[in-house]
Amino acid sequence: MMEKLLRDVEYNYNLINERISEAAQKVGKSREDIKFLAATKTVDVQVINYAVSLGLEYIGENKVQELLSKYDDYNLDKCSLQFIGHLQSNKVKQIVGKVDLIQSVDSVKLAKEISKQSINKNVNTKILVEVNIGREENKSGVLPESTYELIDEIKDFDNISVSGLMTIPPISENSQEISEYFNKVNKLFIDISDKKLDNVSMDILSMGMSSDYYEAILMGANMVRVGSSLFGARDYTK
C-alpha cells in the first residue's frame, strides 16, 4: 500500500513540476521563480518526508493541532514549514518559532499577537496578508480595498515581516472567472509593491491550488499551494 502511494506521489510530484515549468515559461519566468508548496493536511509525515526527499522545499499545514502532532517528525533540514489555514490569536503562541511563515494574516489583532510571540521567542516571522477577493461572508481574509490599510498598520510591528499576499478565490467551475480573481489579486500585489513601503517586501504572491495552479501562475502567482494533486484525495476519517 505505502509503496504504491509513494510511487504515485513521485509521479505526481514530477508532473506538477513540469506543469509549473510550462506555465512559468508562458509568462517569461522559469521553474525557479515559482515556489511549490505542498498542502499537507491529513497526510502522514512519512509521505510528506518522502516528497521532501524528492526536492519539495515548502510544506503548509492548516490546523495548529495537526501541525503540532506532526512537528517532531517533519524533515525540515531543507524544507520550510508554513502555516496556511485560519489562525486564531490564542493559538499563535503554539506555532511561532516552529513555522517560517504564516500565510493567513487578516487582522491587526492577529499580526500584533504574532509580533508579540515572535519577540518573546526572539525569532522573526514572515507573514502574508490573506485577501478575501470574492468578498465571501464566511471566509477569512481582508477585503481587497482594506489590504493596503492593514499592511500599513502592521508593517512596523517588531519581529514580523510582511512578505506578500495570499488568496483563495471562490469555488467555481468557470476557470475564466477564477483567473479574473487571480488577476485582481495580482494587480493589488503590484500596486502595493510599487509603493515600496518600509519594512515590507512584496516577494510572495501565493495563489492557486490543485485545480487552478496553472492559471494562477499565468496570472502572476509565484507560490502555488497544492494538496490533492500531489498526495491524492484526502482521507478525513483518519
Ligand X SMILES: *Cc1c(COP(=O)(O)O)cnc(C)c1O
Nearest to 54 by CA among 20, 19, 13: 13
| DSSP structural state of residue 222 | S
Which residue do the cell numbers 498542502 mark? 39
Residues 92-151 that bind ligand X (CB under 6 A): none
Tell me which residues in 5-34 interact with ligand X (CB under 6 A): none
User: Binder to ligand X among 85, 93, 119, 148 (CB under 6 A)?
Assistant: 85
Shortest CB 194 distance to ligand X, Å: 27
Segments in the chain forming alpha helices (H): 2-26, 45-53, 64-70, 92-95, 108-121, 147-154, 175-194, 213-218, 228-231
Measure the CA–CA gap between 76 and 100, rounded to whole angstroms. 11
Q: Which is nearer to ligand X, 62 or 147 (CB)?
A: 62
Q: Which is nearer to ligand X, 126 or 225 (CB)?
A: 225
Figure out which of the listed residues 19, 29, 31, 41 binds ligand X, where binding follows CB under 6 A: 41
Q: Is 39 in the site for ligand X (CB under 6 A)?
A: yes
- Give the Cα separation of 127 and 92 in Å (integer): 12
Minimum CB distance to ligand X smaller for 94 or for 210: 210
Cα separation of 84 and 75, whole Å?
A: 18
Residue window 47-66: x/- pattern of binding to ligand X, with contact defined by CB under 6 A? ---------------x----
Quick note: the x/- pattern for ligand X over 193-222, rule CB under 6 A, is: ----------------xx------------
Is-contact 117 91, C-beta < 8 A? Answer: no
Is residue 84 part of the contact set for ligand X (CB under 6 A)? yes
**Count of residues interacting with ligand X (CB under 6 A):** 13
Does residue 172 belong to the site contacting ligand X (CB under 6 A)?
Answer: no
Contact 129, 191 (CB under 8 A): no
Q: How far is the CB of 169 from ligand X (least distance, A)?
A: 11
Kindly state the cell numbers that stand for 65: 493541532
Site for ligand X contains 226 (CB under 6 A) = yes
Q: How far apart are CA 6 and CA 220, in angstroms?
A: 31
**Contact footprint for ligand X (CB under 6 A):** 39, 41, 62, 84-85, 168, 209-210, 225-229
